[in-house]
């Protein structure tokens, strides 16, 4: 049974648990949730699924993202992780009410109802002051993401558009979510994910998972491109250049094929050598070895790209260009 379990739970190996990654990208809650998920049962997990947003000219003007897609217990879940601190409630709606006092009447604002489309976070600031912040309801956002994901992937795999996907939002222990907690609806603590998965177990497909669902999640849904630095840090974003250009041992510049046919690139630093061994793995399973003496690549997430020298990288995993379909 142990061999079967390791085969079925195909966690992406380029997403290790690494304290340096946690410090780098600030996703402690996501990494903890991933740890909880991967320790439980059999299934398939994809981190950071993306859906492109297309403008009226047919161009990509951004991406919608969720934290995880998980196929376990015969059911597909879309998991959103929130690392909030303080007390979390729905946003109050106030109404004036006239209150009687011994010296007359006075109007006061009282809570008349709650706006469930938004969350209110109340926490203590660094100087002891009360800080309030409003967020869109992440459960509603996750439901919206699922609709977009099914529409996008349905163009590639029509069966996916009819697939039942359950949204769930899980919060870290730093958040007091008693006011919004709802296990049935999927507003829970991270530690409750295994119980939530079990609650929605599909007996028919739990015993015999559908291969096409696993194949679609792992190989047809875009996610972030990632590099692993020689310092052991995973950094994610979107590759700026359409292909990699590097300098060979003869000093000339060479270019690889477009990233849409490449799965991953690994660099092996050779002791005291003036070059680096570079192994390119393609989406069709083929591989090539090159030797490079220099080169750069850039990732962007946000406003400014970050550039990396190839000598400072161990690995590049393509998550977007080789899966994106417009």
**Average predicted confidence (pLDDT) for the chain:** 87
- CATH, residue 11: 3.40.1350
Report residue 10's pLDDT band, with 50, 70 and 90 as the boundaries: very low
- Residue 43 sits in the same domain as residue 162: yes
- Residue 174 sits in the same domain as residue 310: no
- Residue 141 sits in the same domain as residue 64: yes
- Residue 119 sits in the same domain as residue 263: no
Q: Is the pLDDT of residue 63 over 80?
A: yes
- Strand residues in 149-231 grouped as ranges (E): 165-171, 175-176, 187-189, 225-229
- End of a domain among 201, 219, 237? 219
**Does residue 246 fall inside a structural domain?**
yes
From residue 158, give the alpha-carbon distance in Å to each of 71, 74, 154, 161, 163.
Answer: 18, 19, 4, 6, 9
- pLDDT at residue number 48: 92
- pLDDT at residue number 28: 79
- Give the DSSP letter of residue 63: E
- Residue 50 sits in the same domain as residue 124: no
Q: Is the pLDDT of residue 247 over 90?
A: yes
Beta-carbon count within 10 A of 266 CB: 17
- Residue 71 sits in the same domain as residue 150: yes
Q: Tell me the whole-structure pTM to 2 decimals.
A: 0.83
Highest mean pLDDT pick, 14-18, 122-126, 149-153: 149-153
Q: Taking a C-beta distance cutoff of 8 angstroms, is the pair 311, 278 a contact?
A: no
- Residue 112 sits in the same domain as residue 241: no
Q: The domain containing residue 237 runs over which residues?
A: 225-317
Q: Is the pLDDT of residue 11 over 70?
A: no
């Amino acid at each position: 049974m142990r061999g079967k379990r390791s085969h079925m739970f195909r966690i992406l190996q380029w997403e290790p648990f690494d304290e340096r990654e946690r410090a780098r990208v600030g996703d402690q809650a996501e990494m903890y949730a991933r740890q909880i998920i991967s320790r439980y049962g059999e299934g398939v997990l994809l981190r950071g699924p993306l859906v492109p947003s297309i403008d009226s000219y047919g161009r990509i003007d951004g991406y919608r993202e969720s934290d995880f897609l998980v196929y376990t217990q015969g059911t597909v879940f879309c998991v959103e992780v929130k690392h909030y601190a303080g007390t979390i409630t729905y946003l109050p709606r106030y109404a004036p009410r006239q209150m009687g006092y011994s010296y007359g009447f006075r109007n006061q604002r009282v809570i008349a109802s709650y706006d469930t489309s938004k969350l209110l976070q109340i926490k203590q600031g660094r100087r002891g002051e009360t800080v309030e912040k409003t967020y869109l309801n992440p459960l509603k956002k996750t439901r919206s993401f699922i609709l977009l994901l099914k529409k996008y992937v349905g163009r590639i795999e029509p069966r996916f558009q009819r697939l039942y996907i359950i949204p769930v939002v899980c919060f870290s222990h730093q958040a007091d979510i008693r006011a919004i907690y709802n296990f049935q609806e999927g507003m829970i603590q991270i530690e409750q994910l295994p119980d939530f998965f079990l609650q929605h177990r599909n007996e028919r497909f739990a015993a015999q998972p559908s291969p096409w669902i696993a194949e679609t999640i792992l190989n047809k849904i875009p996610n972030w491109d990632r590099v692993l630095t020689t310092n052991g840090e995973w950094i994610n974003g979107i590759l700026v250049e359409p292909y990699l250009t590097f300098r060979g041992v003869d000093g000339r510049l060479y270019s690889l094929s477009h990233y849409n046919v490449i799965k991953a690139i690994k660099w092996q630093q050779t002791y005291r050598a003036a070059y680096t061994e570079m192994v390119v793995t393609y989406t069709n399973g083929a591989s090539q070895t090159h030797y490079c003496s220099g080169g750069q690549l850039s990732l962007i997430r946000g406003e400014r790209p970050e550039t990396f020298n190839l000598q400072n990288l161990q690995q590049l995993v393509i998550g977007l260009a080789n899966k994106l379909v417009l």
